Structure 1
Amino acid sequence: MKPALGLLARIYQSLSELITFRANQARLRFAETDSSVSETADQALLRRRIRAAATVLLLAKGAFTIRSLILHGSAVPLDGVILTALLVASAWLYSPRTTSYFWLRSVETGIFLGMSLQLGVQLYNQLNQLTMLTPQSAEDITFTAVSFVAAVKDQIIATFGLMMIYGMFIPNTPGRAAVMVFLMAVTPGFVIGMNESSMRAVRDFRQSHVTASGVFSGNLLALAVGAGCAIYGTAIMNRWRNRALKAEQLGQYRLREKIGSGGMGDVYLAEHRLLKRLCAVKVIRADMSENPVMLSRFEREVQATATLTHWNTVQVFDYGQTAEGTFFYVMEHLHGCNLSQVVRKHGPMPEERVIFILRQVCSALREAAAHGLVHRDIKPSNIFLAHVGERFDVVKLLDFGLVRPLNSDNRPELANSDQLQGSPRYMCPEQAKGQSPDSRGDLYSLGATACYILAGRPPFDLQNVPQLVIAHATQPPPAFADIGVEASPELEAVVLKCLQKDPKDRFSDPDEMLKALEDLPNARSWTWAKAEEWWQQRPLHTGAADQASTLITVASDESMTEDDTAISGTPHDALEETVIEIPSDPE
């Protein structure tokens, strides 16, 4: 008896899984009343596929009903019931309400088994009509036989098509598909077997025609072929879908869309599969994965950012490597714009807001300096104004791809004699000379960034890269009046001190600059309330079309430009590239 009980248990489990389908991976289950929880990707896929299948069946049933009206002048009342049920199911599946797997699978089962039941009832009615005929001649006998064969063939063709639609549209495992296909195949036969008159018509046909066995065996063979094709198709589609899902996943993160691209890799908007938290995933390019220098830089960026916990520094959530060897790390996803985007769209900022932003950047750099880290790529596109925790103008310092500990200068794998690393418009004199800066180099770049957000242009607005590099290394910083900046003398003194050529003439560290900013007359003029009012008057986006360019993730890459080039597709500006190649032959 144990084997029998085991078989019954397996059948019960298969039927239960058929109705309450769950993906193989573990998931958090939320109550249906929690309307704030969106459908999982599997739920959304299942809803779309059932909806598509219901639409196809609705169109097919509608076409056959119209055909019946044209040929016979009337339609079977059951056809109207089926059409109404399919229409209601399609409308329900188009509704925005989140639906559990139980109800989705219940609707799927109801649609396909309901259609099979309707086919059985239709064949039952046709066979009943044949039993009422009393053949008087050979022609009548032939007509009855042909009508019988045609009715059975129509049933087989319809069931075959129904199984094909199920195999093509509904995501499933082969085992669950086999259960459903089996039920679709036997439902019409079960309906016929429950009626004595239908069974009598079958027996009369078998007794009257020597070819009856061939007809029935051929029909059963056709059903078996259809069932096999449906199950096989489900298996193939399930296999390819799993491969596609694996290609779209990195560990616990499901990639949604590509939102950025740079010299080292690509940036994707992603979602944690269990937490349902949006994040930004930065993936190193395959060719870069084979470059030990790039891998070292990639790991250095992750490790450096992960050690920083200040709220004005972008947060790193995770780091890993796929089975295929792809390196990636995961950062927080932010709503807002970087300084370059804001200035390009809305123009230079008032002095009090500039001070508000600089203070936050200095706070982030203060922690980095305390950890012995130098950012080395401070520029407007790496300073992000985010909407976080119901606050606006929250600064997030991005892209630590060029960060280097102060004690790493003797590591040859992190240096390259043929490259100047930095952004030409904002690099400090030490970088321009090929030297390694300390935290005072970051303050120089921050001063150049302050000029940009105050005037809409950097201190040296040249179009030639070598001239820019030379200007940063040798030319004194321009006065505010020379570049059209209207600001207090106190703020000008702070910015110009940052832009001194000799690091000894600058602030000694970010903490000293932060104190100088806090002592300015307008240091408290810009508030969180003013920031909120400013952003509410200038919404980030007005529709889905603008979302890609305004909900920017924080994964600014080393070769992204100051604006949102990776988002909008604007051509790169060589003056804002992070890594500058120096020809080995000066001629």
Structure 2
Amino acid sequence: MRDKETRLKRRMEPALTPWSGTTEATDWSLPEDLLQQASRRLSILCVVAAVLWGIGLFIGNSFPPRFAGLNGHPYPWPGNLVGGLAITAAVAMWLYIRLGHARPATLDVGLAFLVVNAFAIGLLDEWAPREVRNRSVSWIAVVILTCAMIAPSTPRKTLFAALVAASMDPIGALIAHLRGVAVPAAAETFIQYWPNYAAAFLAVVPSQVLQRLGRQISRVRDAGSYQLVQRLGGGGMGEVWRAEHRLLARPAAVKIVRPEVLGAASESDVRLITQRFMREAQATAVLGSPHTINVYDFGVTKEGAFYYVMELLVGRDLVSLVRVFCPLPANRAVYLLRQACHSLAEAHSRNLVHRDIKPANIYVCRMGLDYDFIKVLDFGLVKFGDRASTRQNLMTADHVTSGTPAYMAPEIILGNVETDPRADVYALGCVAYWMLTGQLVFQAETPMKMFVEHLHGTPVPPSQRTELPIPRDLEAVVMRCLEKDPQKRPDAAELFQMSCQCKASVPWDHEAAREWWALHLSEFTRGLTLAMPAAPAVSSSPVTR
């Protein structure tokens, strides 16, 4: 097992490099090959633009009789100068790309290229008097849509550049007015060129499509051998996707934290949050209890987003199970409590404290032919119990209490540095209380009032808050778990033994669980196949924060 931990540690070392980009950069992080393709298309567009401007110069200078007698004809002045500068800009842009500048900034330079060409078109289009100008849709609208489809940038930048480009016809009219050319009023000019602005807003669509496509491709590639299929849900800091292995028939769940939702104000904050997910994967992967969720793989994307791949669970967490099907009978609650104790007892034997035990993190599922099979999830707040590891691996920022207020032990609320594993036992007692009564141990309007209740309040025995019978020995076990003093609580291993001694009038076993599932969750009792379950059959998130 030590060798396994060593291998995990080595795999995690590259993940310690934090993401250091800006928010805008993370919003637009195209995979390298897509960026190369966009740059290649942009270089082709530069060639086409140079050729078209060259053709325009040739026609404007070679067929002057066509424009004979027309006052303000733009050729040779200023048409030759404007056309020459436009060709120069196209060649410069082509060289910029060909010299290897295929990076996100290339698409920003492409937007500048769009504005330059639009200005040139607007200037020449408005140079001649009104009576000789064709009032069809401006070439600027065509250029805007073409650039947006060939090499789009971020939606915000694309919209800004497209609106500026769309305004180049009115700006050309203003320049013509300053030259003494008769032009319509400003309002009429803007109305006349409304297709330009319509094209500007339409230009955002391909940008958004490519942005989503880039994110999906990045997720697929960055999640190792797993392809993301469907978003299952999200928590406080991450989101969970249903995934398929590229070679195996095994479904999986992938938990990802995107850089833009980290909410970090500095590089140290990014490193702290990334380490939190590293610790979750590392801590969970070394645990061997069948009632702890299995971790298959983990890593860090190029953008600094951390992901780990875990088994996909089919069933319900205790939150939805109790809310939908009412409080559990005592015999079933004991059956589930024993399995949760099995997971925590192993974690505590390794000096690991979960710190966020709650109904949402205890999953009741079908596992093979077994029903009511418990999986303990989300070791994201896990903390090593020894002093040295605590100093080296503190998971939360200074003066920040981590956990869920309704299930938080008094010592965690008080911020004790050395968290006793029996803090998990207190939380598990709150979970047992929830299973038996469908209610929280304490009711409070705010988290602070909830903290006060956990520190000083006296819990009402669960038998007084439900009509279901609760054996006295089970109630005594729950109340002992809710002791304020950690020393008066049992540890997880002792709690496991105590729960085994609780005798119910009708024991809950595998057959009883199977019958209950066949009656209430029949969609989970069908024959096993290699295909993944349908989307409605999967709970909102196998990992809930």
**How high is the sequence identity, in percent, across the aligned residues?**
37
1:495 and 2:474 aligned? no
Question: Which residue is equivalent to 1:429?
Answer: 410
Q: Which moved more, 1:240-249 or 1:351-360?
A: 240-249
Residue 329 (structure 2) pairs with residue 350 (structure 1)? yes
Larger radius of gyration: 1
- Give CA deviations for 1:46-83 in whole Å, capped at 9, x if unaligned: xxxxxxxxxxxxxxxxxxxxxxxxxxxxxxxxxxxxxx
- Cross-structure match for 1:392: 371
Q: How far apart are residue 293 of structure 1 and its match? A: 1.1
Aligned equivalents of 1:455, 1:241: Cα separation in 2: 47
Partners of 2:391 and 2:281 lie apart in 1 by 21
Kept after mapping to 2: 8 A contact 1:264/1:557:
no
| Structure-2 change in CA distance of 1:246 and 1:419 (3 Å) | closer
Task: For 2:424 and 2:213, locate their aligned partners in 1 and report how far apart those are by CA, in whole Å.
Answer: 48
In the alignment, does 2:533 pair up with 1:552?
no
Q: Say yes or no: does 1:313 pair with 2:296.
A: no
Alignment of 1:311-460 (within 5 A): 311-407=290-386, 408-411=389-392, 413-436=394-417, 437-460=419-442
> Partner of 2:250 in structure 1?
277
Rounded to whole Å, the distance in 2 between the matches of 1:241 and 1:427 is 41
Q: Structure 1's 399 and 354: CA in aligned 2 closer, same or farther, altered over 3 A? A: same
Q: Distance in 2 between matches of 1:387 and 1:412?
A: 35
- For the 8 Å contact 1:476–1:500, the answer to whether it is kept is no
The amino acid of 1:256's aligned partner reads V
Q: Give the superposition deviation at 1:550.
A: 3.9
Task: Give secondary structure in 1 for the equivalent of 2:431.
Answer: helix
Structure 1: runs of 5 or more not aligned: 1-239, 559-587
- Give the direction of change, closer, same or farther, for the CA distance of 1:523–1:354 in structure 2 (3 Å limit): farther
SS in 2 for 1:420: coil
SS in 2 for 1:310: coil
User: Is 1:468 the counterpart of 2:450 in the alignment?
Assistant: yes
Given the alignment of the two structures, is residue 256 of structure 1 paired with residue 229 of structure 2, yes or no? yes
Contact 1:398 1:554 in 2 (8 A): no
| TM-score scaled by length of structure 2 | 0.55
Alpha-carbon distance, 1:482 to partner: 3.4
The alpha-carbon deviation at position 555 of structure 1 amounts to 4.1
Q: Compute the displacement of 1:275 (Å).
A: 0.7
Q: After superposition, what is the alpha-carbon deviation per residue over 1:257-301, rounded to whole angstroms, capped at 9, x for unaligned?
A: 111112212111101101132100011121438511101111110
**Aligned with 1:294 (options 266, 273, 293):** 273
SS in 2 for 1:399: coil
Aligned-pair distance for 1:414? 2.7
Alpha-carbon displacement from aligned partner over 1:61-120 (angstroms, at most 9, x marks no partner): xxxxxxxxxxxxxxxxxxxxxxxxxxxxxxxxxxxxxxxxxxxxxxxxxxxxxxxxxxxx
What one-letter code is carried by the residue in structure 1 that aligns with 2:252? C
| Counterpart among 489, 496, 516 of residue 498 in structure 2 | 516
Give, in angstroms, the shift of residue 398 of structure 1: 0.5
Change over 3 Å in CA distance of 1:434–1:242 after alignment to 2: closer
| 1:553 positional shift | 7.2
The amino acid across from 2:484 in the alignment is K
Task: Write the letter of the residue equivalent to 1:258.
Answer: R
Closer, same or farther: CA 268–501 of 1 in aligned 2, 3 Å: same
**Residues 230 and 241, structure 2, Cα contact 8 Å, conserved in 1:** yes
State the Cα distance separating 1:243 from its structure 2 match. Answer: 9.2
What residue number does 2:519 align with? 537
Where 1:267 maps in the other structure, the secondary structure is: strand
What's the Cα RMSD here?
A: 2.7
Contact 1:447-1:498 within 8 A present in 2 as well: yes
- Consecutive unaligned residues of structure 2, counting only runs of 5 or more, are 1-211, 527-532
Amino acid at match of 2:456: T
Distance in 1 separating the partners of 2:272 and 2:544: 16
CA displacement at 1:251 relative to structure 2 = 1.8
Letter in 2 for 1:552: S
Secondary structure in 1 aligned to 2:407? Answer: coil
Q: Is the 8 A contact 2:331 2:504 kept in 1?
A: yes
Q: Is the 8 A contact 1:335 1:553 kept in 2?
A: no
SS at match of 1:259: strand
- Report the 3-state secondary structure (helix = DSSP H, G, I; strand = E; otherwise coil) of the residue aligned with 1:386: strand
Cα distance in 2 for partners of 1:332, 1:439 equals: 26
Structure 1 residues 477 and 248: CA distance shift in structure 2, 3 A:
same
Separation in 2 of the partners of 1:536 and 1:319? 35
Instruction: Work out whether residues 381 and 395 of structure 2, in 8 Å CA contact, stay in contact via their aligned partners in 1.
Output: no
Whether contact under 8 Å (2:291, 2:373) holds in the other structure is yes
Does the CA-based 8 Å contact 2:326-2:438 persist in structure 1?
yes
Per-residue CA deviation, residues 203-228 of structure 1 (Å, 9 max, x unaligned), is xxxxxxxxxxxxxxxxxxxxxxxxxx
Q: Report if the CA contact (8 A) 1:541-1:547 is conserved.
A: no
Q: Is the 8 A contact 2:281 2:308 kept in 1?
A: yes
